[in-house]
């Protein structure tokens, strides 16, 4: 006993020798592994990038808004830049040429989208569409979107839903003008877009459901767009240091309960309709055909999804989670983006009064003052559409298109992009590429008119210098809807009202941007309306 006591005192006051040896060995092994990994990565000749720090990589160089930070870094590193966000390799394409090479030459290798921890929760794992892997389910949903859910026929059939929401907003603005009040157009446009998209998804939901959905859509957009260290720093994964996981779980529970209420309400309505059709056995054949056609014509997106889920011959069987995840995708992707685009377009026109005068003169000549301009008028409003295209060029709703490589890619310059690399296509930078755009920072709708340098360019993804909705397999499926709804709302706003800045200090509108998945304005657009049409059209 006595001989062991000195040994015990030594152990208590100094680390055991064995522990020191173990720490040393582990350190050497980790350093050798990191060095070997770094050499393998270097041997691949990654695209150039700025110097990075250990562990965090280039995270310290990113400032909000991120698309501007990436633009500035790329101006020094090159059009195809490699950065390391914590543990994640990223490649950023910032010119039309670099973006075109990735999309045209490697579309099959960048058809996946990186999925964050928060996005995975709202996608019900892999049940959603926006972040789903490129597989049979995704391809089925893409065809369903383009042909039925968000296809031309459905967009046309649901036009009255969008029209009713726009008219309700305009009447609210008329009332505010009569009281001499300014209007927070940011709030009104978000409310309009949220209500419209929710009514397009489920046209008969109670008003309380629509109101709750608006709050949840805002929460989802904030959570999905927030920076989460869990996604980039491997050592932090699973710890939920920022509490985003807990917040997302709470919002998801509320949204799931709301979606279940929408589904039950729709199931009851569909069952009532079936019973009504079955009870009409005495109705003449032609009349029954007309009733059936009328019922089909009034289907909303939820009806179409439930029809597919009940179709035993469908290529892919849709589950309840598939339907709920798709609804979240649609309402979160289609609400704030549409509102932001109307807001940016109006702000640009107010800052360029000569362009605004041309839009108003065109509306007066084509539509007049006896009715409110709508989506059907757009083909006869070329200057308005040119102003919209110019807004899309300068302010794409989603400034960065996110992809992920599934295989190693060799790109121009002898560089290599490893598998599982996040691929960011900076659409904001592409729209300002001086190689394709004269005076790229100027707001000039005339460039899209006959005789202009961009005559004939459409924002549908075929032209890599102008793809505000993305391009290729992961291009925005709601593009057709956005090309109809956004300019129609703007047309009605400037046809019915003259607008002036509510804040003192001049008429110039602040064009600062906020950060997030959607490129929204930093400050609310608060304006004073003066009615142009008197009396306000009763027939809409």
The answer to whether the CB of 453 falls within 8 A of the CB of 447 is yes
Kindly tell me the number of DSSP H helices and DSSP E strands found in the chain: 20, 9
- Calculate ∠ Cα 115-409-237, nearest 5°: 30
Per-residue pLDDT at 3: 41
Q: Which two tokens stand for residue 447?
A: 């460039």
Tens digits of per-residue pLDDT, 92-131?
Answer: 999 999 999 999 999 999 999 999 999 999 999 989 899 8
* Whole-angstrom distance, CA of residue 128 vs CA of residue 188: 29
Q: How many whole angstroms separate alpha carbon 45 and alpha carbon 50?
A: 14
The pTM (predicted TM-score) of the whole model is 0.88
pLDDT at 69: 97
Determine the length of the chain: 540
**pLDDT value, residue 142:** 93
Residue 315: HSE in the Cβ half-sphere, 13 Å Cα cutoff? 10
Whole-number pLDDT of residue 31? 54
Q: What pLDDT score was predicted for residue 535? A: 87
Q: Is 496 annotated as a binding residue?
A: no
pLDDT value, residue 506: 57
* Predicted pLDDT at 412: 87
Q: What is the DSSP letter of 47?
A: P
d(CA 370, CA 364): 10
What pLDDT shows up at residue 453?
Answer: 96
pLDDT of residue 44: 66
Residue 237's pLDDT is what? 87
Three-class SS of residue 205? coil
Residue stretches of the chain with pLDDT short of 70: 1-44, 280-297, 503-506, 538-540
Contact yes or no for 55/86 (Cβ under 8 A): yes
Which pLDDT does position 534 carry in this prediction? 84
- Distances, alpha carbon 122 to alpha carbons 115, 127, 236, 321, in Å: 11, 9, 21, 10
The per-residue pLDDT for 4 is 38
pLDDT for res 10: 33
Write down the pLDDT at residue 276: 82
Q: Mean pLDDT score of the chain, rounded to an integer?
A: 88
Q: What is the pLDDT of residues 66-86, one digit of tens each?
A: 999 999 999 999 999 999 999
């Amino acid at each position: 006993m006595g001989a062991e006591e000195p040994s015990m005192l030594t152990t208590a006051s100094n680390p055991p020798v064995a522990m020191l040896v173990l720490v040393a060995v582990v350190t050497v092994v980790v350093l050798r592994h990191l060095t070997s990994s770094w050499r393998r990565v270097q041997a691949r000749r990654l695209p150039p990038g700025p110097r990075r720090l250990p562990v965090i990589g280039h995270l310290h160089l990113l400032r909000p808004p991120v698309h501007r930070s990436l633009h500035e870094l790329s101006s020094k590193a090159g059009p195809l830049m490699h950065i390391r966000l914590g543990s994640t390799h990223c490649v950023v394409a910032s010119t039309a040429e670099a973006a075109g090479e990735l999309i045209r030459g490697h579309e099959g290798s960048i058809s996946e989208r990186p999925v964050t921890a928060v996005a995975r929760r709202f996608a019900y794992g892999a049940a959603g569409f926006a972040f789903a892997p490129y597989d049979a389910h995704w391809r089925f949903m893409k065809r369903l979107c383009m042909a039925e859910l968000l296809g031309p026929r459905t967009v046309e059939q649901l036009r009255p839903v969008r029209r009713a929401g726009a008219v309700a907003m305009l009447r609210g603005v008329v009332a505010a003008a009569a009281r001499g009040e300014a209007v927070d157009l940011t709030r009104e446009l978000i409310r309009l877009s949220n209500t419209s998209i929710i009514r397009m998804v489920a046209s008969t939901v109670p008003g309380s459901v629509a109101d709750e959905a608006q709050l949840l859509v805002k929460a989802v957009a904030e959570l999905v767009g927030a920076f989460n260290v869990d996604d980039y720093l491997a050592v932090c994964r699973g710890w939920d240091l920022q509490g985003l996981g807990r917040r997302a779980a709470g919002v998801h529970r509320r949204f799931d309960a709301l979606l279940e209420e929408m589904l039950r309400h729709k199931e009851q309505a569909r069952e009532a309709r079936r019973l009504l059709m079955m009870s009409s056995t005495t109705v003449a054949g032609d009349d029954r055909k007309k009733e059936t056609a009328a019922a089909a014509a009034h289907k909303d997106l939820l009806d179409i999804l439930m029809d597919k889920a009940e179709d035993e011959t469908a290529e892919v069987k849709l589950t309840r989670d598939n339907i709920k995840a798709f609804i979240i995708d649609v309402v979160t992707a289609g609400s704030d983006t549409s509102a932001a685009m109307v807001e940016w377009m109006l702000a640009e026109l107010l800052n360029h009064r000569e362009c605004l005068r041309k839009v108003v003169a065109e509306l007066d000549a084509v539509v007049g003052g006896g009715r409110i301009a709508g989506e059907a008028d757009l083909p006869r409003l070329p200057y308005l559409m040119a102003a919209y295209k110019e807004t899309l060029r300068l302010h794409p709703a989603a400034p960065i298109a996110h992809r992920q490589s599934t295989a190693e890619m060799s790109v121009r310059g002898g560089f290599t992009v490893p598998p599982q690399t996040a691929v960011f296509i900076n659409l904001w930078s592409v729209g300002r590429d001086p190689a394709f755009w004269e005076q790229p920072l100027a707001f000039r709708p005339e460039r899209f008119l006959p005789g202009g340098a961009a005559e004939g360019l459409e924002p549908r993804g075929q032209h890599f210098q102008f793809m505000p909705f993305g391009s290729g397999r992961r291009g925005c499926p709601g593009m057709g809807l956005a090309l109809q709804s956004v300019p129609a709302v703007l047309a009605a706003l400037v046809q019915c009202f003259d607008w002036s800045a509510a804040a003192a200090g001049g008429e110039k509108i602040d064009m600062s941007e906020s950060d997030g998945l959607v490129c929204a304005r930093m400050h609310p657009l608060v304006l004073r309306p003066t009615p142009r049409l008197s009396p306000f059209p009763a027939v809409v």
